[in-house]
Structure 1
């Protein structure tokens, strides 16, 4: 149920990056590049709707000799992260389903980024971390997390979650039906 991209590096190695992982110089980066031109947090792989994207975080990158802040990822795409360092997209995997949430008054909705469950006047998922949300959701390390009333939860399909006195459930949502949160 995880979206990923496989990048071919200049020396021929490959690196698999999942949605939400970073390319950069920091030791916390999923793809660590020990180059002075690469920022600590240089770029982010992100699932937006039904596509994986590469998003520039500190410096722009080049695609087809044009500076970009964001680029949809597809097999064969060449990306020059910094001058003289190009990676090529070897493969992109998009799962059939992504994790979502459903419950009283909330039809199944995909969790496609950091979002909150608000009740105004009915339950709905909104992007970001709104302070009025009864729960916040985010992906980290290949799993989904939720914070409800200060408590952290790991979400898996089928797991119930009590929010505001109501029971919601983590569910699989077909990626083709996944709206943006």
Structure 2
């Protein structure tokens, strides 16, 4: 109920909460499965039923959100059966990374995921900067030339001064 109330916020951004909620849900499913798996060995009917149910929930969860144990962040949208998205949309992860409430990105357990996410944020920032410069130059009618040197894009203004590296 609390999670639903958080996601219903009208005065604050809620999309950045989604990755944390998904990771939390996965942990709760795994925890319930582990608790009742022991009981299933004792042939306790209620524990066995819970074990079967949490296993089905886990299988369904992984179909929809991917295997959160191995990889939580993918910089591209992954499609599965019937063209359904699998995993957390990268836009949600980026918004979570940029949201000051999640500056430590605690929902990502693997350092490689955190590094990959910040690399994607950097790429998006560079693309935005290049796009803004391209639009500015097209609109202003300035003569601009683009060069590639040492795997870097360099944009030169008409007076041959680099305006971005």
Q: How does the TM-score come out when normalised to structure 1?
A: 0.20
Q: How does the TM-score come out when normalised to structure 2?
A: 0.21
Structure with greater helix percent:
2
Tell me which of the two structures has the higher relative contact order, counting C-alpha pairs closer than 8 angstroms and 6 or more residues apart: 1
Larger Rg: 2
